[in-house]
Structure 1
Amino acid sequence: MRDDDAKKVVSFPAPLRTGYDGSDALSTTFVQHVRAQVAEHGQLSDALSPADEKLVEDEVAFQKRFGFDWPRVHRRELLWLKRDLDLTDAEIRLLQRTGNFFLEPSSVRLDVKRWFYLVGWAQIVSLGVCIGVPILQVVGSQRFLLPSQWVILALWSLGAYGLGRGLHYFYVRPYQIFRRTRAMGPERG
């Protein structure tokens, strides 16, 4: 490795190289260290990109990109939040669809309730039990199933899988995104 490449590498402090115990303190320490390294090496801009600035001014372009429209102040804050928390466009659309952005007079806040996540998992487990047990009973009680019965079982299984994926997408996934970004928090220079 050349000397120029060695200067660009962000080194991790010794405590962060050891095992991860799952505590938020370690995550926060890690994020703070990476932010300090990025600030020191000047890789993080203090301004939005020109493309994002255009989105703030162009309401139609913002609506095409994200699928919803907000006032200019909130568009700017959302793009800062997107940059600071490293959210993707698909995650922004999901969080908006599920009602997890809260518009305050001059800011946008991301807030996902944990109980929503728990209710989602409870529904997924209930669905698995309510659909899985009858399927197992039908399959286990008969020696031979007719082809039409196999088709019905397959359709029930696919329906249950699709419903479970939908529940995961709308209830569980927003909390997973929130948990991933929680330690980072929006901090601008």
Structure 2
Amino acid sequence: MPVRLLRDELRDLYTRYLRELGAPVAVDVGTGFGENLRALVEASSRGAYVVTLDLDLLALQKAKTLFIQAYERGVMDLACADAHHPPLRRGSVKLITTVATLHHLADLRVFLKNCREVLADNGVFIAVDWTPGSRLTPHPPEEHKKVLDSFKQLFPWFFRLDDLRVYKDYFLVVGSKP
């Protein structure tokens, strides 16, 4: 069985949801190295406007360089912002994505609450992060176990669970705002 890269799986998942939702705006929370942003930009080639946000200006500058064509075409924007308080209007977003960001957040409850607020009705939230046993993370397993336990407890308060995939190195959760 061929190995699929997470980026390819995410691109296909985002393409599906962008099509189903008719999403005019999609958000990448936690730009990081730009891998999730790459999947989202590729998936949004059908017309969605992509906003990526991060507190790290260097990450945003790198993203602008990597995706200069999308930026210059006006289909992507960058926001230096705190993930806990995204600078977006209430109900203005159809799709929020985040990869390898949850373990960086100081208050997961505030983050999930505010993501839910900026999502439109029936909007979709997709989160991916490392499992405690991941071989890929530079962080200790205890840190990821704590985040995963907290996420499992809080997620149902804000979203309806639509999909859950657990792999050896990461988990993927899809939820929607009812």
Give the number of the structure whose residues are more often helix, by fraction. 1
Higher strand share: 2
Larger Rg: 1
Q: TM-score, normalised by structure 1?
A: 0.21
Q: Give TM-score, length-normalised by structure 2.
A: 0.22
